């Protein structure tokens, strides 16, 4: 199947590790020229090297999405290097931890909204003029199952993910006239390297295997995942690639859940 992505240019925020890294590599495998943005130079260069080892083209950009100047300079770098921008993947964000409402300060709320929501707004606002010039502009925002099925804990994180889904729908209506399709991908429990390490530490602490620790976490915190396993970053990445492709040319404003059946509603 020809996805029609060859020679397109994509910017993936938070593209140096975890889900963002998997997205960047999956796009590069479809001959997309990929710019990856994050705050860590070392991690960026490692991911860039891995992409280029497979014969693909990559650009690494040290960029803090909470800083207006950083975002403007970062996107200018993409245009100066590649001459265009066709796909924006707003992946960068933070998960603060499993805190209860009473333990979250107002400054914590401000911080997570500045990164998870306003960081996406800054990046999209700056990239929009260039996406309008593309013949197949795409914006893909990474949210979470927590945006539609929140837990009782970490309400600040849950609220940002709900805001992303709502914002996506609004943008999909606003930007369609410019030929830009905007969609959300909402993962559930994805076994990123960071989460894999946390599961290993929990297993060591309890004197059980990592797989037992994962199954325990699923039972206690994600019992609705019907396939009874965590997802992997590549499964999220393949959904992003599809939404970026010509095969998704009539999909706009949707929230594609990559959750193993976790969300109980339709």
User: Are 98 and 129 members of one domain?
Assistant: yes
Q: Alpha carbon of 39 to those of 6, 45, 65: distances in Å?
A: 28, 11, 9
User: Are 47 and 175 members of one domain?
Assistant: yes
Rg (the chain; Cα; Å): 18
- Domain with 67 in it: what CATH number? 3.40.50.720
User: Are 122 and 236 members of one domain?
Assistant: yes
Q: Each residue's pLDDT tens digit in the chain (266 positions)?
A: 789 999 999 999 999 999 999 999 999 999 999 999 999 999 999 999 999 998 999 999 999 999 999 999 999 999 999 999 999 999 999 988 788 999 999 999 999 999 999 999 999 999 999 999 999 999 999 999 999 999 899 999 999 999 999 999 999 999 999 999 999 999 998 988 878 888 888 888 899 988 888 888 888 878 888 888 889 999 999 999 999 999 999 999 999 999 998 887 76
As for how many domains the chain has, the answer is 2
User: Are 226 and 142 members of one domain?
Assistant: no
Does a structural domain hold residue 209?
yes
Check if 157 is active-site.
Answer: yes
Does a structural domain hold residue 265?
no
pTM of the model: 0.94
- pLDDT score for 201: 87
Domain that holds residue 56: 9-190+232-258
- pLDDT score for 218: 85
User: Are 180 and 218 members of one domain?
Assistant: no
- pLDDT score for 221: 78
User: Are 15 and 55 members of one domain?
Assistant: yes
User: Are 60 and 130 members of one domain?
Assistant: yes
Does a structural domain hold residue 136?
yes
Catalytic residue, chosen from 82, 157, 189, 242, is 157
């Amino acid at each position: 199947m020809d996805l029609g992505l060859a020679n397109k240019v994509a910017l993936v925020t938070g593209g140096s590790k975890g889900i963002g890294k998997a997205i960047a590599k999956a796009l590069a495998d479809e001959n997309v020229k990929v710019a990856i943005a994050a705050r860590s130079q070392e991690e960026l260069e490692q991911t860039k090297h891995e992409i280029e080892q497979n014969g693909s083209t990559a650009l690494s950009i040290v960029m803090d999405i909470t800083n207006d100047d950083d975002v403007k300079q970062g996107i200018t770098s993409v245009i100066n290097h590649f001459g265009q921008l066709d796909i924006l993947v707003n992946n960068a964000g933070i998960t603060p931890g499993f805190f209860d409402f009473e333990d979250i300060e107002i400054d914590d709320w401000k911080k997570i909204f500045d990164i998870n929501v306003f960081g996406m707004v800054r990046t999209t606002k700056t990239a929009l003029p260039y996406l309008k010039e593309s013949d197949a502009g795409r914006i893909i925002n990474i949210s979470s199952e927590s945006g539609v099925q929140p837990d009782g804990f970490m309400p600040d994180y849950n609220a940002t993910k709900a805001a992303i889904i709502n914002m996506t729908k609004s943008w999909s209506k606003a930007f369609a006239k410019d030929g830009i399709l905007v969609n959300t991908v909402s993962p559930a429990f994805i076994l990123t390297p960071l989460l894999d390490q946390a599961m290993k530490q929990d297993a060591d602490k309890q004197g059980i295997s990592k797989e037992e620790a994962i199954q325990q976490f699923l039972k206690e915190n994600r019992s609705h995942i019907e396939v009874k396993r965590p997802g992997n970053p590549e499964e999220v990445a393949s959904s992003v690639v599809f939404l970026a492709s010509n095969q998704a040319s009539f999909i706009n404003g949707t929230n594609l859940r990559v959750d193993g059946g976790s969300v109980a509603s339709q």
